[in-house]
Each structure stands twice: as C-alpha cells, then as structure tokens.
Structure 1
Amino acid sequence: MLWNTIKTSLHASLPESEFGLWIKPLECKRENDQVLELAGPDRFFCAWVEDRYLELIRTKAQELGTIADVRLQVAAQPPLQVESDKGGQLRLPGMTKQAPRYRSLHPAYTFDQFMVGESNILARSACHALATGDSTFGHCLFVNSTTGLGKSHLTQAVVHQVLRSAPSTRLHYLTAQQFSADMVKSIRSNRMEQFSRRYVNNCDMLLVEDVHTLTNKNKTQEELNTILDYLIKSGRRVILTSAVAPSKLAGLDEDFRSRMTSGLVTGIQSPDYETRARIIRHKMQSHGLGADEDMVGFMAESLQGDIRRMESAIMGIKAKACLHKAPADLSMVRDVIYNLIGSPVEVTPETIRELIGRQFQVSVEALRSRSRKRAITFPRQVGMYLTRKYTDKSLADIGSIYNRDHSTVLYAIKNITKNMSQQTAVREQVELLCRKIKN
C-alpha cells in the first residue's frame, strides 16, 4: 500500500513527536492511480496538516508512485466521538457510563508548541508536572492572566498529555459557564445527585477555565466548592484558570475563594521582548515565512501583550505574500502591522526601558536597583533621558519607573546632555537608540 510506504518515508524525515502527532493519525480512505484520499480526526487537525504537511506528503507521493493528487478530509466518524447516555452524561464509544468529558481540543495546543519565557515558566512547569502526575507543585493549581497569554493553551496541553500518556484517566475539562449550565439543567431535571457524583466519584482530574465568570453565582460557587473540597482532600488533580487574580475577584464567597487558592497560585504576564521574538520566529518558520531578524524584531517591538495579535499578524503577512506572489519583507510586515494596530506602536516609558535593557544587556531589575556601577548607571541615565525626550511623563513619573526621585532624573538628563556634546561615543549611542525608537 503506497500510503504505508509514504508514512515510512515521512517517519524517517520528521521528528518522532511530529510524526506521531500529525502523520500517524491520518487514515487512507481511497487510493488509486489518480488520487490518494486521507482523513483526519477533526477539522482543526486537518487544517493544521494541510497548512504544514500536505505539500510534503504530495511530494513523497509523486516520488514513490504515479498518484496525481493528494486530498485531505475530515473522517466521517472521529475517533473521539462523544455520545450521551440516558442520564445526560457524555461518554466515549465502548466505554462505561461516567466516562471522562472534555472540550474540543486544538491540535497545536501542546507543551511542545508552547514558548517558555520568564513570564510563564512557573505556570508551564506546574501544568506539565500535574499532567505527568508529578506532585512537585502540589495537586491544585490556579492560573490567572489577561486574555491571549496562554491559559487555554496550557490547559489543553495538559489534556493532550494525559490522553497520550494515561488515557484511562477520568478527566473532566470544561469552562465555568459549562459547569454552571450543566448544573442548572441537572437541577431542573432533578438529577443533581448524578451531577455531583460525576465530579466527585468519577473524576481523577478536573480542569475548569474562566472561574471569574462565577461571580455572584452563589449556588454554582457552593456546588463547585463542595466538589473542590472533596477532590483536593483526596489528592485528585485540579487546575483552575481565571482572567482575574483571585484577590481581585469580586462577588465570590470567601470560603470558595480560599478553596480555589489552597494550592499553587501563579499568573502569566505579558511576554518580554525575547519571548515575543521566539514566539514570532517559531510561528513565522512554521508558516514558511522564514525568520528574517529585522522582521522578527519589528514585530516583537510592535506586538506587545496578546499573543493572538501575533498570530493574526503572521496570517496577514502570509496572505499578503501569497497574494503578491512575493516573499515577505519588512515593508510588507510594516503594512500588515500598522493595519492591525491602527498606527505605529506608541512609545511608552516601558518600551524605552525594554530597549535600553536589550541594547546594554541589563535587566529591568538592575535598572531599578540601587547599584551605582557604571554598567548600570549609564544605561539608567540614558533611559531617563530618552523617556523625557519621547514621552510626556513628569520627572517624578520617570523617577518611579527607575525607582528614583525627580532630582536624580533631572541630574541624569543634564549629565547625558553634557556628555553627548563632549563625547562622540555617547552621542552616537544615544542617536542609535533614537533611531530605533522612531522606527
């Protein structure tokens, strides 16, 4: 069978993890001299394979046979099809009642595809530990961050890992809204006993996203609190996510808040420049756009915060490159970015401080420290000077950014101004930074 020969060839040319995740699940539905038809488990999986591997499969098919075309479709009956028993409990085919339930999974939301940086390393490490049964970080985890920073990626990575390494785990993965809706339905149908049993007696691991949506839903909080109490005390694994830090969640019962935060609590911050650059470089390469450092640097400077904006920008660049039938360049990237964010990125004290840190290889902590070493004081003074030049912040505001008072800022500005007029090296360094800020 030609497909088996193609798979053998792909297995030799692709990393084991990629082959096992994206090629092995493909099924051959039809094969003749004209066409090879393959099927994947769901539309997300097929979209990913089509974008990244279909051309490679076509090339292998043409090298090994006379097939004219390779087509990809969604399997008629996905292997993870969900059925329902009489009690309303979702279950997998062939399994007993009270089987695990989980939301649709994005095929790319795995640990391998998650870019690690200082802003998310603790959350990623804790999730991976829980997914593999490692109790280093305890059994209960609460992760909070604003939207688009990777909460769902990590929770789905946990589910992918558990399904791959321990598929018999009784796992429940849902949003707080789904939990609340299921509970209301169970109350109306007088099935609350079955509802509670599903999570108490038939659950080895519970993942609930967006618990911030439960504010002022007292009955739901009470029920989930009871379930968490049992699961945590019995050593079951629990992961909760929220868009708001637990201390800032209003409308929560204090006992419920205490229960949710009884284990490790960690946040995911906006990625720093280096992490943004790694994310963009990885995504650009996976989309066949290369990784020109000027393009990567400009995007990392411009697209701060929400990682989804990076993905949107890369898709826009890819579309524009295909439309013009030309490789992506910096001009094309600028057009897409400015169309996405509305205008060139605003210069803020924080972006200037990040630029100073990269240019002089000094951390933000060092710039804010009490150190008087020249390797620290000179970059700090340049940062103060540029912040005064390119923003409307007061001396006091600038001082707070660098953990200094306004008189220190005033001295720094005067000192850099004097040195620029007397020392060519200082002037050239500052002018270089000015050009980077303007660009």
Structure 2
Amino acid sequence: LPPRELIKLNPNGGNGNGRQLSLPNIPKKIRAGEKYLNARFTFDRFVVGECNEFAYSISKALANGSHCPYSSLFLMAQTGLGKSHLIQAIGNTILQKKPMAKVLYITTEDFTNEMIYALRNNIITQFKNKYRKVCDVLLLEELHFLSGKEKTQIELGYTLDSLFNDEKMVIFTSPLMPEEIPNMKKMLISRFTSGVITSIKKPGFRTRLDILKQKALEREISLPEDVACFMAENLTQDIRQLEGSLDSLKAISFFLKKEIKVDLAKEIVKQLIPSKHLETVEDIQKIVCKYFKVDRDALKSKSRKKIIAYPRSIAIYLCRRYTDKSLESIGRSFNRNHSTVLYDEEKIKKKIKIDDGVRREVEFLCRQIEDRTA
C-alpha cells in the first residue's frame, strides 16, 4: 500500500495588530513503515504518576534495551490515557539509538487492509516477508478491531510466531484485555499474553495537575496555580480533555483579550463537560428504538443481525455518553458483558469519524436526547 502522506500545517493567526498567536508546535514525523511516529511522543514528555508508572518504566526499559528479559508488551488503556504516546515513544527511542532499525508502526485495521490488498494483487509473499523477515520491531495498535476477523487473526498469529522465534520486539495496545476482546481466537490471545501485560488508569488529581502544567509549558501558556488546580479538579475524563481545555484557554485569552483566571477556566470547563441529561438507560433505549423502529426486547437480545446490532451499538454509545452508569450496569441492561459494551462504544466512535451517515444519525439522536430534557 502507498504510504500515507501527512499534511503539514503552518500555524498562522493574529488579531489585526501584527501579533500572532503562538500555537503548539506541529511536530515532525518519523517514518516507521507506512505510518509515521509523532516525534513529540517521547519519554521525556510523558508525565508519570501512580496511574502509569509501571507502564512507563517497562516501556522505557524495552526501548533502551536495559537488560530487559522481555521482548513483548501489551499496553491496555482507555482512549486518551497515553498508550499511543508510550508505544510511539518506544519506536522513537529505538530509531534514535538505531536509525537503521526496521520499526513498523501500524494499526490492526491497517494490517487487515494491507493483507487484503496483497491477496487481491498476488503479492502476499512480499506482505509476509515485510512483517516476518524484514521487521525488527512491530508496534501494533487497536487490537480490539481484530474482533471477528478470523483470516486476519490467523495471518497475524503466524506473523507473531515468526517474530517471537527470531526474538524480535512486539508491542501491542488495546482498550480491552486480550481475553475480553469478543470473537478472538485462543491461540492469538496466548500470543498477546506471552510477555508483560500492564494497564494505564485514569490520572488522579496530582497527575492531572502535573499534566496541565507540562502541557501549558509546551504551549507557552502562563497558567496560574489556582486555575490549574480548578481545571485538574473538574476535568477528569482523559488527557485529551486536558489538552483541549488548554488550547481553548489560550485561544479565548488571546482573541478576546481575557486574562487567564478561574472565571475563564469555569467557562471552558462548562463547555467541555457534557451534561448528563438522562438518568436511565431505559430512556435512551426508547429513543433509539423509536428512531430505528425496533423493539426494546430485540435491542436486548443476542441477535447479531445488522438491523438489531447496529442500533444496539449506538444505544450503548449514547448510554456511555449521557449516563453515569458503569460498563457493568449498561451491560446488564443490554444482556452484554462490560467488554462488549466497551467494544461497541469504541466501534461507534470510530465510525463517527469515517462514516458521515453514522455521524449524522448519532448527531440527530444526541439532539433528540438533549432537546427532550433541555
């Protein structure tokens, strides 16, 4: 497959008086196979706390080759908690030490698409050689998207066997533990769990505060202590939310000539934290069922038919967005386990980004929910 070209942006902005808003630096990209590593994702820039200390330590040890007896690592974390930062920091460190090393950074979806392309164009031998013979380090993200892809799982299993036999390094990431990924072959689960397995938790207050201070420094934002503490106390979702809050803070302060104080931070926090309008999963189920013209009993059934499975996945996504219910609680309402709930949520999040039809349907249902209880 042809390499993906990245659009490089030249930050440019101003307020009419010749001054420009200094945006966060656009990081250079480091080639790793047919994808690029973000040069900004280094161990030095990773904020360490109780939530990620072991994941950070083992990742750095593997990257530096510090007499680490392991060559495989499975990083489990929800979206926006730093697993992509760590896996790319490993790649960046290795390439800095060994510029000629063959580091391949790829998602399981990319792997699947490349395999299909190779099969259709009779170049499967080149595909196999690329991952089994040429590769020194394989950085493989989003393992949960292998769910149900039997042929891809088989091919990846053979690839991992070859890499492990040659003592090559393999790093995995996923928001689910291997055994929690639906429709995953046992032989592949055993390969994922053959090395070190660790998870990254949501950062606590102290770590969130440290993250805000470092990100503010990178963005050249003078962040008062009381503002940082207020934001760290109220923005608890993930690191991306913290970064977004700082970008908004800087932009509003610059363009509206507002001093960075707690009152301004309160405005931003109010915008970033979605209102939890509905209290029950049942309300969301009713709205989704009415829109898709399906029964609630069907929504809670084991049916895998698209006419049922698709509305169910959207309902689960909306429950995660608009209620405070746990994964387990939502799962019980749909006769599903917590890992399936998480899988459905991630699936819809991804489809929203790439499928305009799905995005429009979700946006419509969101408006229905918000207008109903406004």
TM superposition score normalised by structure 2: 0.65
Runs of 5+ in structure 1 lacking a partner?
A: 1-40, 52-57, 59-72, 83-99, 345-439
- Counterpart residue type for residue 262 of structure 1: S
**How far off is 1:334 after superposition?**
0.5
Change (3 A) 1:155 1:45: farther
Alignment of 1:257-268 (within 5 A): 257-268=189-200
Superimposed CA distance per residue, residues 50-90 of structure 1 (whole angstroms, 9 cap, x where no aligned partner): 89xxxxxx9xxxxxxxxxxxxxx99xxx996x7xxxxxxxx
Say if 2:210 is the partner of 1:278.
yes
**How far off is 1:343 after superposition?**
5.3
**How far off is 1:46 after superposition?**
5.7
Q: Which residue of 2 aligns with 1:143?
A: 75
- Counterpart residue type for residue 177 of structure 2: A
Say if 2:29 is the partner of 1:122.
no
CA contact (8 A) 1:277 1:297 kept: yes
2-structure distance, mates of 1:274, 1:325: 30
The partner residue of 1:292 within 224, 228, 239 is 224
**How far off is 1:259 after superposition?**
0.7
**May I ask how many residue pairs the two structures share in their alignment?**
261
Q: Which residue of 1 aligns with 2:251?
A: 319
The partner residue of 1:176 within 86, 104, 108 is 108
Q: Which residue of 2 aligns with 1:233?
A: 165
Q: Which residue of 2 aligns with 1:335?
A: 267
Alignment of 1:343-422 (within 5 A): none
Q: Which residue of 2 aligns with 1:113?
A: 45
The partner residue of 1:160 within 81, 88, 92 is 92
Q: Which residue of 2 aligns with 1:256?
A: 188
Secondary structure class of the residue paired with 2:38: coil
Q: Which residue of 2 aligns with 1:199?
A: 131
2-structure distance, mates of 1:247, 1:342: 32
- Counterpart residue type for residue 170 of structure 1: K
1-structure distance, mates of 2:161, 2:9: 37
Secondary structure class of the residue paired with 1:239: strand
Change (3 A) 1:189 1:258: same
CA contact (8 A) 2:29 2:36 kept: no
CA contact (8 A) 1:139 1:236 kept: yes
The partner residue of 1:217 within 149, 159, 174 is 149
Superimposed CA distance per residue, residues 296-353 of structure 1 (whole angstroms, 9 cap, x where no aligned partner): 1111111113110111111111011002223311100000111111459xxxxxxxxx
Secondary structure class of the residue paired with 1:201: helix
Change (3 A) 1:342 1:249: closer
CA contact (8 A) 2:223 2:260 kept: no
CA contact (8 A) 2:29 2:37 kept: no
2-structure distance, mates of 1:335, 1:44: 31
Superimposed CA distance per residue, residues 167-194 of structure 1 (whole angstroms, 9 cap, x where no aligned partner): 1111111110000000011111122111
TM superposition score normalised by structure 1: 0.56
CA contact (8 A) 2:77 2:175 kept: yes
2-structure distance, mates of 1:269, 1:121: 10
Change (3 A) 1:128 1:182: same
CA contact (8 A) 1:174 1:209 kept: yes
Which region of structure 1 is more displaced relative to structure 2, 161-170 or 212-221? 161-170
Superimposed CA distance per residue, residues 19-44 of structure 1 (whole angstroms, 9 cap, x where no aligned partner): xxxxxxxxxxxxxxxxxxxxxx9765
2-structure distance, mates of 1:203, 1:43: 26
Superimposed CA distance per residue, residues 187-210 of structure 1 (whole angstroms, 9 cap, x where no aligned partner): 111221111111111111111100
CA contact (8 A) 2:29 2:38 kept: no
Change (3 A) 1:177 1:298: same
Give every structure 1 segment of 4 or more consecutive aligned residues whose post-TM-superposition deviation is greater than 3 Å.
41-47
- Counterpart residue type for residue 166 of structure 2: S
1-structure distance, mates of 2:45, 2:78: 20
Change (3 A) 1:44 1:311: farther
Secondary structure class of the residue paired with 2:216: helix
Superimposed CA distance per residue, residues 254-278 of structure 1 (whole angstroms, 9 cap, x where no aligned partner): 0100011100011110011111010
- Counterpart residue type for residue 219 of structure 1: K
Change (3 A) 1:104 1:170: closer
**How far off is 1:294 after superposition?**
1.1
- Counterpart residue type for residue 255 of structure 2: L
Secondary structure class of the residue paired with 1:262: coil
2-structure distance, mates of 1:293, 1:343: 27
1-structure distance, mates of 2:63, 2:34: 15
Percentage of pairs with the same residue: 34
1-structure distance, mates of 2:253, 2:225: 17
CA contact (8 A) 2:139 2:172 kept: yes
